[in-house]
Amino acid sequence: MNNFTKMIPARLRTSLTCSILAATTFFMQSCSKDTAPVVEISYLSIVNATPTLATFNAYVDQTKITNAGPLSFGAAVGYFQATPGAHTVKFTTASSTDPLISKSVSLEANKAYSLFLINKSTNMDYLLTPDQINNTASAKAFVRFVNLSPDAPALNLNVKDVATALIPDQAYKAVSSFIETEAKSYTFQLKNKANGNAVGENDLTFELKAGKTYTVMAVGMVTAAEGDQKIQIKVVTNQ
């Protein structure tokens, strides 16, 4: 049985609530005294954060999930529904089914995760992070910062013309907590934590909306070789 069904991120909580209500209804209508079945669901999103020009297909338990096309640099597949437990995640090139990397990941019930494909060549790896998807009624936006640039120093995520970092001091593979912030347009900048100098040349202006949750990523290489992406900012909308 295929454990994965593509979901719309904004409907994650609605889907889970409906599943639980359905199970409750079944129990109430039953003449049996058996315990009602427990509905357990996990959610997974997959992001291509490798610092290269390549695109990748992703498979979960042998099911291809990049049906809209291979993932380009910084692109994501929205949340999928999964049974809790261990799942095998495989990445291939756009033209092959041979695995470039294949690893098992473990998902807990009623939790959401992002899996980032990071680094390149023989150093390619996964970074699995828990996500926050329960603030849809808030008037604020929620954002976190993850440094996925393999050769970058510890980075601050700054907002243009604001002296204090929005989210400071993130080393490679460090993932900040989600913070609450005003729902409005921001121009994000990457700065070296040690000296405050700008890192990269690509500021990004992005509108954060109320009740939404976002991951801001530093991706690419500070010193880019041929075939590499230069360091820049990408944003994933989690919910």
Could you tell me the pTM of the whole model?
Answer: 0.84
Average pLDDT along the chain: 88
Evaluate if residue 6 carries a pLDDT over 60: no
Q: pLDDT digit string (tens) for 153-166? A: 999 999 999 999 99
Evaluate if residue 31 carries a pLDDT over 80: no
178 in the same domain as 235: yes
Of 97, 131, 165, which marks where a domain is finished?
A: 131
Cα–Cα distance for residue pair 171/174, rounded to 1 Å: 5
Of 108, 131, 154, which marks where a domain is finished?
A: 131
124 in the same domain as 218: no
85 in the same domain as 9: yes
Of 86, 115, 131, which marks where a domain is finished?
A: 131
102 in the same domain as 31: yes
Domain that holds residue 187: 135-239
**What was the pLDDT predicted at 103?**
98
215 in the same domain as 115: no
What CATH code is carried by the domain that includes residue 25? 2.60.40
